[in-house]
Structure 1
Amino acid sequence: MTGTDHRTGHHRDATRGHAPTGQVPAQDERRLHSSSFGRAAVAYAEHRPDYAHAAVHWALEAAPGPRVLDLGAGTGKLTATLVALGHQVVAVEPDPAMLAELRGTLPDVRALEGSAEAIPLPDGSVDAVVSGNAMHWFDMTAAGPEIARVLAPGGVLAGLWNVFDDGVDWVAGLAEVTGPAAIGPRDVPGSWRTETARMHLPASGGADAWFDSPEQAEFPHGQRRTADSLVATLATKAGVLVMPEQEREALLAATRTYLAARPETGDGEFILPMLTSVLRVRRM
């Protein structure tokens, strides 16, 4: 295998060596990106989409009970869906600004400051751990045993990602205009499948065997947007948040120009075609 905000951690991979001169080392870049969300917590809460209910049902259908931990909960987008579907939810989020937004929006939800690598819950206290657009920030070397620790036997770990449906022509064009800063790895279905297939999950067969083999699934979703609100949504992406201001404004201006020129998006409201993509495993 996807806080202080490492938005609950930094992703483990082989790129721990030195980067070429003038480039930010990959792990430092991930930390920079994952710690960028707090500054945009209000915009994140307003503009980021919720999750397809069918996707949440599939993620949790094998859970042995109703107790669910939303890990790296952000402003509570997935938390709210879990509550609406009747689950008993506790939310854990490392960034104070994001956590404040969650608590303000969902005051009846138990919401704790913590990370995937240090979960502030007792052993075996939840039946499922879910993560909305956050699992790729986890350091699964540390987070895997922690998640396994808080899960009841047979419990489920599921990551959910909202991705842009680039099978739709204008969405594919949007991805070309914005580039990977706004619509990058894990943001379109094909890349999502590849990226999540490479995620490190402590799977059966190794010394750190906690989970069984992962499964992937995708579910149609959509978000009602205008050109302005879609630009605002893209402005909450980590790659955009960390850009120099002039570069960021140029990218967002080009996006506005593209959306204004497209018949699907140039006038009033439209549905942004999306998928909620799910990666799930079960606790051994």
Structure 2
Amino acid sequence: MPESALLAVSFGAAARDYDRYRSGPPAQALDWVVPADCRCVLDLAAGTGLLTRQLADLVEDVVAVEPDARMREVLALTCPEATVLAGTAEAVPLPDRRVEAVTVSAAWHWMDPAAALAEIARVLTPGGTLGVLYTRRDRRVPWVDRLDAFVHREMGTDDRIGDLIRRMNEGPWLPEGVPFTATEAHAVSWTAVLTVEEIVAMFGTYSRFITLPEGRKRELAEAIEAEVRASVPTWQGQVLMPMVCYCWRTRLTADSPSGALS
């Protein structure tokens, strides 16, 4: 199996920690992405339901599709209101024109854009909305940027999500010829109050960390904790972590036939 595929299916090994320590999008981001009159929404690559649970508070009919059985198990437990299905963005187990909105949170980089958009166009009603969201630490803040750069160096990785976000913000990112309107962009900033231990645990839910040998995981966790304690400002023993959710939305053109990209 290619390394990218191994990384994509690694999260289930840390599903409960993922659900506990990852941050979902803020309510303001959902208000911008999901139309106020939306009655049915698909959360695609839903993971453990960080976004699904919020959608269930807003929309009557929520379907969550997730390929990893271990992630689905947590999702079903934490969001019984949603219909939870096994599937992928490239093979959505829903009939044509089933939903009025589709959300993808922290997962667009794992998808084949052309195949995913074909399926999204198929299951959306004409004029339906696609919303893509990425929630992350705000690297525009210098000390956050230094911390993330340290972790990337220790893991031997680069910030490909940051690179993707920049490309999506700088210009058109949908493939030519797809039956969607031009994308709109938005960002929501806020502050999360975290302990040092929670920050270390959060980094432990990333695919590169999850796939490391156990001994290296311990070494890396100790190095991250030491770096946080040495260089991150605290307030009454806690870290005020700047966060940002980048959002994009587009709509299926009203005259698009079902399966227009097939």
Indicate whether the TM-score tops 0.5: yes
Structure 1 residue aligned with 2:206: 237
Instruction: State how far apart, in whole Å, the 2-side matches of 1:199 and 1:107 are.
Output: 37
Partner of 2:18: 44
1:227-265 CA distance string (max 9 Å, x none): 111110111011222233343333322210011123624
| 124-133 or 245-254, which deviates more | 245-254
State percent identity of aligned pairs: 36
RMSD of aligned residue pairs (Cα, Å): 2.4
Note the 1:252-263 alignment, pairs <5 A.
Answer: 252-262=221-231
Change beyond 3 A, Cα 1:157–1:35: same
In the other structure, the counterpart of 1:218 is: 187
The total of aligned residue pairs comes to: 251
Runs of 4 or more off by more than 6 Å in structure 1? none
Structure 1 position 192, deviation (Å):
1.8
Q: 1:266 to 1:251 in 2, by over 3 A?
A: farther
Partner in structure 2 of residue 16 of structure 1: none
Q: Does the 8 Å contact 1:260/1:266 carry over to 2?
A: no
Unaligned stretches of 5+ residues in structure 2: 254-262
Given that residues 143 and 232 in structure 2 are in contact (C-alpha distance below 8 angstroms), is that contact kept between their aligned partners in structure 1? no
CA distance in 1, matches of 2:34, 2:140: 27
Mapped to 1, the partners of 2:181 and 2:252 lie a distance apart of 7
Equivalent position to 2:61, from 62, 83, 88? 88
Output the amino acid matched with 2:214.
Answer: E
Structure 1 residue 197: Cα displacement: 5.7
Given candidates 63, 66, 69, the residue that maps to 2:39 is 66
Q: How does 1:31-180 map to 2 (within 5 A)?
A: 31-61=5-35, 65-179=38-152
Distance 1:193 1:178 in 2: 20
Query: For residues 57 and 82 of structure 1, what CA distance do their matches in structure 2 show?
Result: 10
* Residue 184, structure 1, aligned to residue 159, structure 2: yes
| Separation in 2, partners of 1:235, 1:265 | 21
Superposition TM-score, scaled by structure 1 size:
0.80
Letter in 1 for 2:126: P
**SS class of match (2:160):** coil
Normalised by the length of structure 2, the TM-score is: 0.87
